[in-house]
C-alpha cells in the first residue's frame, strides 16, 4: 500500500470521476450531431502529468483504455502547456478515422500538470463514402482524412488555417465545427476541474492521490484475477470475411493468469488483411480491458490501474495490431466484438464461469440517397451466464448505442419500418437461454444504396457449458440473402430485412 491515506481514496476517486463526468456533460450539451448528443458515441478522460489515465467517463466500451495511446502520441510531440491537440490516425493514438480525439495539455503556472482528452465519433471525416465507414476500402487514405497529432490551439489561439484544412476535407463542415467546439469546451472543463481540485486539496495531496488511485484499481483487478486462480487456455474464432473477400479470418489467443496477472498472447491470429477489419492494438487492448472490467464489480474506478494487470502480446504482422497503411474502419466496430468473444471463450475454456457469446456484431447499416445518409446499428441477443438468461435486443460487448424510434426515422428519411420485432426463438436453448435477436424490416421510398457491415451470419454465437448456440443473423433484400458485408442498390419499394443473431445459452 502506498503512503496515501486509504480513508481518502474513495473521496479522491469521486472527485476525479466527477471531473470526467462533467467533461461528458459539457460535451453532450454542446455537440451538434445526434451520434454524440443522443447515441453518446464519445468518451472523456483525465490524465496526470505523467500521462497516466486517472478517470474516464465512458459511454462506449470500445473507447475503454484506448485513450492513453492518444495522450502518449501527443506527449511524444512535446506539447507546450495549454496546447490543444487533435488526432485520429489509428497508427498514432487513434482508433478509426471517425473518432476524432482532442487532448489538452493542462497548464497551471506555466507547467503541464495533466491532460484532458475527449474522443468523439464524428458523422463524417471524408473519404470514399458518406459516414466514413466504407465497404471495400483497402487503404487507410480511402476511409477519410488522416490526422496525426496536430497542434490545434497554441498560446490560447486556435489555428484557423489548420481547422479550415480539416473542415475542407469532410462532408458536413458546419456540424464538425460545432462538435469540435464542444470537444474543446469539454477539454477546458476537465482542465478547470483538475486545476480547481489541485488548488482545493493541495498539489501534493492530489499527486499522491493519483498514484494511490491507480494502485487501488490495480489491487482490485489483481484481487479478482487471483480469485480465479492460475489459468491456461486457448481459444479460436473467426471473422466472416475482411470486407474484400469472404474467406474466414482467424483470431487466436493463449490466455494465461498467474498470481493475479493476465497475459494474452494472440499468436496464430491472421496477418493484416486487405479489407478494413484491421484495427490498431489500442482497440485490442480496449476489448481486453472490457472483458476484465466485466469480471470486476461495477464500482471499481475506470483508470490505467486496471490495465496494469493485463499484458498483451501480438505477432509482428497481425490484423488486430495493424500497421500503416491498412484500412481499419470496420475493425473498430466488428473485430473488437470478435476479440471480446474470443477472450470470453478462452476464460470459459479455462474453467471460468464466463458468459456464453452474445450476438458479436454491431449490425452496421448505412443508407445513402440523394442528399441524405442514415446510419444505425442494431442490437441482438446477449449470451446467458450462470446468473441467468441473456437479455434480448440489446447491444453487446463494445457498443451500447440506442436505437432510432420508428416514428423519428420515418419523419426524417424516405424509409418505412414495416417490422421491428424480437426475433423469437433465436437465442440458444439451455438451462439459461440466450437472448433473442431482433428483426428490422426497412422499405425504401427512393432509390438509394445500403452498406452492410455485419458478422455472425454463418458462424453462430456459441453456447457455454453445454448450452445451445444462438441463431446466426440474416441479411435479405426482397427475401433474397445478402452477404455479411456488402453494398447494394435499392429501388423504391424494395425491402431490406436484417435479422440479428441470438445469444448463446449457458448450461445444458
Partner 1 sequence: MTRAAGIDVGGTFTDLAAIDADGAVVARKVLSTPGDQSEGVASALDALGAPARTVARIAHGTTVVTNLLLERRGARVVLCATAGATDVLELRRQERASLYDLSAAHPAPLVVPTDVVGVRERLEPGEVRVELTDGEVARVVAEVVARAPAVVVVALLHAYANGAHERRLAQALRAALPLADVVCAHEVLPEIREYERTATAVAEGYARPAVATYLARLGRTVSERGHPAPSVMTSGGGMRTAAEAARAAASLALSGPAGGVVGAAAVLRVAGFDRALTIDIGGTSADAGLILDGEPLVESGGDVAGVPIALPRVLVDTVSAGGGSLGWIDDGGALRVGPRSAGAVPGPAAFGRGGTQPTVTDANLVLGRIVAHRMSGGVKLDVEASRRVVSALAAQLGADVTRTAQAMVNIADAEMARALRRVSVDRGVDPRSCVLMAFGGGGPLHACALADLIGATRVLVPPHAGVLSALGLAMAPERRESAVSVMRRTDALDGAHVRAVADALAGQVEGAVRAWTARTRYVGQGYELDIPCAPGDDGAAIAARFAGRHHARYGFVLDREVEVVAMRHTASSLAESVRFARHGTPTWTDAGLVDDGSPCDAIVAGEAVITLPDATLFVARGWTARALPVGGWLVERVP
Nearer to partner 1, 229 or 405 (CB): 405
Task: Report which secondary-structure segment, H or E, holds 105.
Answer: strand 99-108
CA distance 442 to 150: 42
| Shortest distance (Å) from residue 2 CB to partner 1 | 10
CA distance 228 to 258: 10
Bond into 247 cis (ω within 30): no
| Shortest distance (Å) from residue 277 CB to partner 1 | 24
Nearer to partner 1, 161 or 411 (CB): 411
Whether the CB-CB separation of 340 and 398 falls below 8 Å is answered with: yes
Nearer to partner 1, 393 or 471 (CB): 393
Lookup result for grid cell 484557423: 160
Nearer to partner 1, 332 or 403 (CB): 403
Nearer to partner 1, 41 or 143 (CB): 41
Cβ neighbours, 10 Å, residue 245 = 11
What nine digits make up the cell of 504?
A: 448463446
Nearer to partner 1, 277 or 393 (CB): 393
Interhelix angle 173-201/203-228, nearest 10 degrees? 100
Nearer to partner 1, 276 or 464 (CB): 464
| Shortest distance (Å) from residue 504 CB to partner 1 | 12
Q: Please list the residues that pair with 117 across neighbouring strands.
A: 45, 103
CA 493-379-224 angle, to 5 degrees, is 170
**Contact residues for 120 (Cβ-Cβ < 8 A; gap 6+):** 27, 31, 36, 41, 42, 99, 100, 179, 182, 183
| Shortest distance (Å) from residue 461 CB to partner 1 | 13
| Shortest distance (Å) from residue 36 CB to partner 1 | 12
Task: Supply the Cα-derived Rg of the chain in whole angstroms.
Answer: 22
CA distance 188 to 266: 39
Cβ neighbours, 10 Å, residue 476 = 14
| Shortest distance (Å) from residue 288 CB to partner 1 | 14
CA distance 395 to 412: 24
| Shortest distance (Å) from residue 21 CB to partner 1 | 7
Nearer to partner 1, 93 or 355 (CB): 355
Whether the CB-CB separation of 236 and 323 falls below 8 Å is answered with: no
Cβ neighbours, 10 Å, residue 162 = 16
| Shortest distance (Å) from residue 446 CB to partner 1 | 14
Amino acid at each position: 500500500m502506498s503512503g496515501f491515506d486509504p480513508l481518502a481514496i474513495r473521496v479522491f476517486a469521486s472527485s476525479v470521476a466527477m471531473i470526467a463526468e462533467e467533461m461528458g456533460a459539457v460535451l453532450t450539451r454542446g455537440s451538434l450531431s445526434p451520434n454524440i448528443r443522443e447515441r453518446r458515441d464519445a468518451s472523456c478522460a483525465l490524465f496526470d502529468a505523467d500521462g497516466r489515465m486517472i478517470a474516464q467517463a465512458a459511454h462506449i466500451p470500445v473507447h475503454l483504455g484506448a485513450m492513453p495511446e492518444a495522450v502518449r502520441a501527443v506527449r511524444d510531440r512535446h506539447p507546450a502547456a495549454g496546447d490543444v491537440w487533435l488526432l485520429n490516425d489509428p497508427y498514432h493514438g487513434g482508433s478509426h478515422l471517425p473518432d476524432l480525439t482532442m487532448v489538452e495539455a493542462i497548464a497551471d503556472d506555466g507547467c503541464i500538470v495533466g491532460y484532458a482528452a475527449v474522443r468523439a465519433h464524428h458523422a463524417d471525416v471524408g473519404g470514399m463514402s458518406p459516414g466514413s465507414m466504407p465497404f471495400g476500402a483497402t487503404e487507410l487514405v480511402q476511409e477519410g482524412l488522416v490526422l496525426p497529432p496536430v497542434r490545434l490551439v497554441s498560446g490560447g489561439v486556435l489555428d484557423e488555417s489548420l481547422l479550415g484544412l480539416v473542415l475542407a476535407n469532410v462532408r458536413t463542415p458546419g456540424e464538425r465545427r460545432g462538435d469540435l467546439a464542444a470537444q474543446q469546451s469539454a477539454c477546458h472543463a476537465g482542465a478547470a476541474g483538475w486545476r480547481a481540485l489541485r488548488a482545493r486539496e493541495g498539489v501534493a495531496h492530489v499527486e499522491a492521490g493519483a498514484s494511490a488511485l491507480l494502485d487501488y484499481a490495480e489491487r482490485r483487478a489483481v484481487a479478482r484475477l487471483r480469485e480465479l486462480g492460475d489459468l491456461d487456455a486457448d481459444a479460436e474464432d473467426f471473422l466472416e470475411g475482411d470486407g474484400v473477400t469472404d474467406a474466414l479470418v482467424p483470431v487466436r489467443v493463449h490466455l494465461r493468469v498467474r498470481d493475479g496477472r493476465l497475459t494474452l498472447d494472440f499468436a496464430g491470429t491472421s496477418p493484416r488483411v486487405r479489407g478494413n477489419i484491421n484495427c490498431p492494438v489500442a482497440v485490442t487492448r480496449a476489448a481486453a480491458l472490457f472483458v476484465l472490467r466485466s469480471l470486476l464489480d461495477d464500482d471499481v474506478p475506470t483508470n490505467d490501474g486496471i490495465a496494469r494487470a493485463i499484458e498483451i502480446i501480438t505477432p509482428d504482422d497481425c490484423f488486430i495490431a495493424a500497421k500503416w497503411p491498412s484500412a481499419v474502419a470496420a475493425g473498430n466496430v466488428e473485430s473488437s466484438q470478435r476479440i471480446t468473444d474470443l477472450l470470453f471463450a478462452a476464460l470459459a475454456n479455462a474453467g471460468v464461469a464466463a458468459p456464453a457469446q452474445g450476438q458479436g456484431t454491431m449490425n452496421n447499416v448505412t443508407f445513402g440517397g440523394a442528399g441524405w445518409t442514415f446510419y444505425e446499428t442494431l442490437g441482438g441477443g446477449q449470451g446467458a451466464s450462470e446468473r441467468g438468461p441473456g437479455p434480448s435486443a440489446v447491444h453487446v460487448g463494445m457498443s451500447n448505442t440506442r436505437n432510432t424510434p420508428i416514428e423519428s426515422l420515418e419523419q426524417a428519411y424516405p424509409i418505412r419500418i414495416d417490422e421491428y420485432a424480437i426475433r423469437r426463438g433465436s437465442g440458444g436453448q439451455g438451462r439459461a437461454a440466450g437472448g433473442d435477436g431482433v428483426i428490422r424490416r426497412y422499405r425504401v421510398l427512393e432509390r438509394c444504396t445500403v452498406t452492410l457491415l455485419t458478422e455472425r451470419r454463418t458462424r453462430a454465437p456459441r453456447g457455454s457449458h453445454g448450452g445451445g448456440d444462438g441463431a446466426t443473423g440474416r441479411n435479405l433484400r426482397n427475401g433474397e440473402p445478402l452477404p455479411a458485408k456488402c453494398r447494394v442498390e435499392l429501388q423504391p419499394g424494395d425491402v431490406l430485412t436484417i435479422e440479428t443473431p441470438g445469444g448463446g445459452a449457458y448450461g445444458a
